[in-house]
Structures are given as C-alpha cells and as structure tokens.
Chain A
Amino acid sequence: MSNENEMAEYAISINNLTKKYGDFTAVDHLNLNIRKGEVFGLLGPNGAGKTTTTLMLLGLTEPTEGRAFINNMDCTRDSIQIKSKVGYLPDNVGFYGSMTGRENLRFIGRLNGLTGESLEKRIDELLKRVNMEAAADQKTSTYSRGMRQRLGIADVLIKDPQIIIMDEPTLGIDPEGVRELMLLIRDLAETDGRTILLSSHQLYQVQKVCDRMGIFVHGKMIACGSLEELGNQIETPGKSTTELGVYPDNIRLESILRQMDGILELEHDNNMYILRTAYDIRGKLSRELTEKGYTIMHMRQAGSDLDEIYRTYFEKEAV
C-alpha cells in the first residue's frame, strides 16, 4: 500500500483522531503528520485539547474515533512498545520526594530494563547533560521547579527515546531557564536526531525552537506549518496590512500616501498609519518617503510574528 510507504517517513501520524467526553469534544478529527527529526510545536490556549492529544498518542486514553501511529505502531494497541520508544515529559512533572534525583532516575531506568553498570553510567551522563550533577544526591522534595524540569528531561532521556513528547515544558521557568531548555531541545533534535512534539501556550518561547507549528483551538487544528507559512495563511489574498510611523507626521504626508500606487485603504490612528495594500510595498514606501525628507520611525507588516498569527486565529475562531 502506498499509504504505508508514506507513513514510514513520518514519526507520528494522526488520522481523524477524536476524543469526546460526554457531549464535550476535546479533540475533533485531528489530522497531523510529523516527520522524523522534526521539532513540532502544538500551540493553543488552555483547554484546547493539547494534553488529551498527547495522552492518546501514549495510549493512556482511548480515542473515541480515528487512529494514531508512532513509527507505524498503533498508539492504542501497541502502547507498551510505544512507551519504550517514546519519552513523555508531563506538564509539571513530579518525582518521589523521599528519593534523591539519582534514585528517581535509577528507578525509572530499572523499569525500562536497564541494570547495573550501564545504568549508572547512563545516569551520570544524563545528569551532566542537563547540568544537574551538583544536586543529584539531594532529595527531590528540595528541588525548585526548574530543577525538576531538568531532571524530568534526564528522566525522559534515560530510555533513549526516538520521540519525545513534552507538555508545556516552559511553564513556570525563569527566562534563563527557558533559554537553556530551548537550546537543549534544539540539541536533542539536531545532534541526536530525535523527533520532538511539544505543546505550549507560550508562543515566543516556542517559535524559536520549532520547525513547524500547529495552532490548536477547541480541539481543531486550524493552521499548520512553519512561521512564514502560517503568516501567509492568515493574510487575506491580494491584501496586506502595513503599520507605518513617520516623522514629521504632517498633512502633506497623508496626501503623498494617498497618491501612491497600491494603497487601497488608509487609516490614521495615534500617530500611526495603517495601510491596506495590494502587495508588499514596504521597499517602495521607504524609498519614496526618504527622498521627500521623512524619517521612518516604524514600519511593520502585520501578520509576520506569531502573536499576530495567534490572535488572528483566535479571533477567527471566536467569531
């Protein structure tokens, strides 16, 4: 079957996945393919169904309808094999407080069939990689949230997973911690060639690290692609919006703008012009205004950053 060949390229393949809780549909006919070695971000507000999707991928919840495959194994039926290949870092990961970080790792390692010398070596390597060597022999009840998260990553890596699923990995970590985490995630994908699926509602942190993103609202994937692709998708075809701030902001400026080709609409709002144009006229605009002695203070094409994209999608959904 050609379908199966196609699937082999994908690490994660989700077909029509649906989960209903009574009348409430948490995940609604989700289709998604994630390539091997890719970092995919699942973005959406709280309660969008991100966690439910990850639970179904791990076989912890049965889908109402549809199927999901990881490395061509059915997520619901072969859940044991899947769980030995997939590492899951839950949102707000917990450890046994009465055990040290090292003991916690050892316990999970033994559950994955590792023993003795090779396990100890692996634990040491991972503690070094997540920079937790100093605190490894302290009880985990004394750990801060950032330390728990780092130990959580070591815990996920102990079984050497091909695929890592992270649920809100950046939640509650300070900016420096987030930066380190993002470097680590990038490194896991690039150096080790692991596939990473991470869900988050914190856009800026995620956009830096993901190859592709999916925007997930009310159980539906409403857009999917790289940052540029998402940007292109939200723009109304044949129209683009540019914000413009110019000094000096005088009456002559408006007439110049009105005379320019390509500008369909013009709004003046708080020292800022919002131009609806037929195409991207930023180059032409800056040349012409500079020639006439104006200084451009601000010029930005709307829809080019994730916040805008995110907001636009949520607005669309709300309407």
Chain B
Amino acid sequence: MLDLRHYNCLGEALRAAIDRWPNEICLIEADRDRENARLTYRQFKQAALPFARALQNAGFNRDSRAAIIMTNQSKWLISAYAIFYAGGVLVPLDYKLSAAEQLQLLAHSKAEVLIVEYHLWRAITQGETFSSLGTRLVLVTEAPAGASLAGAKRWENFHDSRLPIFVPRKRSDPACIVYSSGTGGRPKGCVLTHDNYLEQCRALTALFPFSPGTRYLSILPTNHAIDFMVGFIGPFTCGATVVHLRTLRPEYIREAFTRYKITYMTVVPMLLKTLERGLRQRFAELPGGRRRALRALIGINRAFTRRRPRLKLSRRLLGQVHKGFGGELRALFVGGAFTEPSTLQFFYDLGVPVGNGYGCTEAGTVITLNDFDPFRADTVGKPLPGIEVDILDPDEEGVGEVAVRGKTVMSHYLDDPEMTSETIVDGWLHTGDLGRVDKHGHVQLLGRKKNMIVTEEGKNVYPEDIEAAFEGLAVKEFCVFAANYLWPERTMVGEQLILVVHPEAKPQIEPATTPIPVQTEVAASESGEAASELSPSGSPDANPAPQSEQFTAQPDARHLLAPEMAAEIDARNRRLLNYKRVAGYLVWDSDFPRTASLKIKRIDLAQEIRTSRGRHHVVYL
C-alpha cells in the first residue's frame, strides 16, 4: 500500500496508485450475470483523464464543485477521480433521496457541475426548482440513444484526449461536501478535507490492510462516507480491486461472493440480518445427522477462535459455509446503525469475523472498530489509531455523550457556523450518542442524546426534516420528535418518530376526570379504528399504560384526533419514504413554547411532553 503520509491530497494519492499498479484490476462492474466493465488501473486512468480534461475545458478548476448522483458503478469512481485530478470539490449525493430532496441539496451545495444517471436525471428535471439551479453543466450517464437531454450532455461523449492539468491541493483544502442528513430547513453539509480522508484511510488500512489481489464488494452507496472510504479510497491506494453490483438483491450478492472470491465487504445491519436468516434457514433444513455435525463443528471453531480469528482453521472446519462466501472472505464490516450482538456472534462462530464499527460523517466515517483482538460482540470496538474518544459528563455508570477528537473530524458544516460551533466544541466533535468506554478501551453505545433516529439501514433521520411533509395541516401547530428523545431509553433499536399535534380548536371531547360518558366511548372507537387495528402489541416502543388510566392498553379519547385529521396525517405520512415515516401522533393541547422569532423551543417542548405524557399516549398510525 502507499505510504499516505507522503501525499497532500486525494488526487495525488490516487494518481500515484494508478501509476504504481497499472496492470492490476481496480474495478469490476457487474450486473446480474453480466459484466459491464473490468478495468485495470491503466484503463481507469485512460477513462478518467480525458473526462478531467473536458471538465477543465468547461471551466472546471480549483474549488469548483461537482455533484454526483449515481448508483454504485464504474462511472462514479472515474468521475470522482477526474474531479480530484482537476482540483475540484466532490459533492456525493444520495441517489435514494427523492428528486425534491436532491434538488434542495444541489442548491445548497452550489455545485457547478452535476453528473447523474439518466433515470435519476429524468426525475430531477421534473422538480419545480430544477430550472433555478445554478448548475451550469449537467452530464448524464447511460442515456438511451435518441433521448432528448434538454441542454444536458452525454457523459459518454464528454472527453478530450489532450492531457488535463493536474491541480494539487493542500491537506487542509476541502475534498468533499457530504450531506450527513438534513434535507429539511437545515442541510448538514460536512466539509471534509484531504487530510481527513488521508488520515482516515491510513488508520483503517493499518488495521485491515488491502493489497493487490484483495477484492472488495461495494454494495453500500458510494455516496455514503463508509463506501467512499472502504469501497474506493482504501482499496485504490493499495492496488486492490473494487467490485460494484448494479443490483442489490440478496441472491446476486450471494453469487458475487463466489464469482469474484470476495475478500471484504461492508454491510448495514439489515443486510447482515438477512444473510443470517438465510444461513439459519439453510442449516435448519439439513438432515438431522448433518445438522448435528455442523453444530459440533461450530462449537469446535468457537473454542479455537476465542482469542483471535483463525481463518485457515475455520475454512477447514466449516468448508461448505466458507465456500458459500467464495472461500476467500476474510471479514465483513458492519456499521451505520446498531447491530445485535447475537448476529455478530453467529458469524464469528462460523469463522466469518464481522468488524462492528461506529462512526459518523462528521468524523470522516469510522470512529471505532472491532480489531478482533479479541472479538467482542457487545461493543463497537476501540477508537482507530489517532482518534481520541471522551465521554462527556459521565454519570455514575460512566455513561455520557461520546465526543471525538482527531485528524479525521470534519472542518465544518457548509455555510452554517452556528451549527458547526454547536457540534465541534474546543476541537471535540459532540456526537449526540450516549456511551461509555470500558477498561479495555472498547466503546459501548447505549442510546442517543440528540433528537434523531438511525434506521436499520443506517439512515440518519432528523425529525425537523420530516415536518415539511405535514406543512399546511389544519392544526394549530405541530412538531416531530424522536420517541427516545422524548422518553429516553437505553437502547439503539426500535427507534421511532412521533408527530406532536396541537389541534386548532379544543378537542371536542373534554378531558374526563369522571367516568367517560358513552358518547365519548363511541367516538373513541370510531376514530381510533386504525389505531386499534395496528396499535402495536409488537412495537418495541409501546409501553403499557399505568394501571390508573381508564383505558390501559390504548390512548383514550382525549388523546385521539378527529378521524379525518388522522386520515390526512396517515396519507401525508405515506408520501414519505418508508424509513422517514412517523410511527404515530401525540395530541398536545397547549401552545408550543416559542422564541421571540417564533421558532419552536424544541428542548423546552420536549421537557414539557416528557413530564406530562408517556409513550402510552401515542396513537400509532
């Protein structure tokens, strides 16, 4: 691998890698059983430099910003390298966001150039604000022959064979603007420097070295900070191979393992659980004798790998299982959200170590990672070399907010000094996560201090961003909170969003201090139909109501909205991407506390709700 201490910017490091391993395969792009591309580092360079030159011809230069909205594919990385070569700043945007959200982030980032896949471009052009974007060059990949591009250019035709000029950058210069979330009123554009990336890459590859011949299966979106690092910068600066899949269906992922003899892959907890379920099912279907033999072998493997992974031994003991993973898998990595220890242990016992990590975009990706020395299923590992972790204001159990300091912490939030100063205090990044550090230096996460949720797919969702979906609702006011922020829980699973609604008029049904009249019961049963149908016996957040309540299992009538209002909320909720939906609503019958400029005082409102309402008052949609 390259010694990254000697390089000042990503463009320089990538250029050195490309020249050092010209004949190694750097990139394979597969789609089902087809291969769309297989490039050596030399061919990668031959594709990227004419593109960089064409960008420069179009006036792209030092600090010019170029946004990419693409699924994982070769043109993503080719474009990114060209942007760095020309000294530009890359804005990787999430292809899974809605077109309206992408347009909002494009406007916020002030990207001059947009590189986008055809189907995503078509959606964006239908957005109301598309025509007012400041983007002066749009490059569309894979547009069908004969498609009208209305001023945009075809990526495939955008090249100039003359050599581009390499534009060097300093370590402190911005390399990327990565949106950690926040498509509502306040986008969070993390400005990450070349130093952030080079130091992060150095720390990660010291723990898990890549080399020529190592094959990394890239399935997390490349716009995500994790894949950008371990599915691009990391492997490329080590001469390794990245394999892209154009489809993420579990059966094709399984096939890719064996076809490409994958060495490493990073997943989100949801995919890991899917793999676990599939394996458990296959094990359960084995004939009795083979099932018992497998169980015994797993037990032997567990005993022999207690102190450290022993890949050769595990592959010999559990050959069939490892064959299913291609036979050369060294480790999986998981991050982005909470992973259950039982899942991590399941894979470890099979001889497939899963490096459980913790990080955030603001910290350049990874903060802690399990180094398997020894394997721990109950923690997110130890801080990476060069990263300091501190616990702020720890309680008697040592639990407090996790703070991080080091060279990988972002420079600032784009155009938001106020949020930057709230988040980075005296050089320490306040993560908003609650955790503790044990005597072995392992970090355990125990909940969240900030008003947000993280889905099993690793998506950060900020309640404020969801509020736009309910704008114009015929209520006096409303606000969205994370349930675990309102009612703190020591858990990282089952997080939900709650819509707090202050109805326009006083609820028709007066709060009942005496036995509830018959009329009220009827209203409750009618309006609460949806709630009672789905109200969540299985919901992890549904705490039983106190015994003193009139109706113990469900919120009573005074906490229900009129049926038409509930239906309107449900309809609007369904227009949101499924992971952004609120789980239920909570009726609140007094004015929200507000600042002089009429902004909701969220902290104060949360405190009021916390003291007078419980989870059992939530009406689930």
Q: Do A and B come from one complex?
A: no
Name A's B-contacting residues (CB within 8 A).
none
Q: Residues of B with Cβ closer than 8 Å to A?
A: none
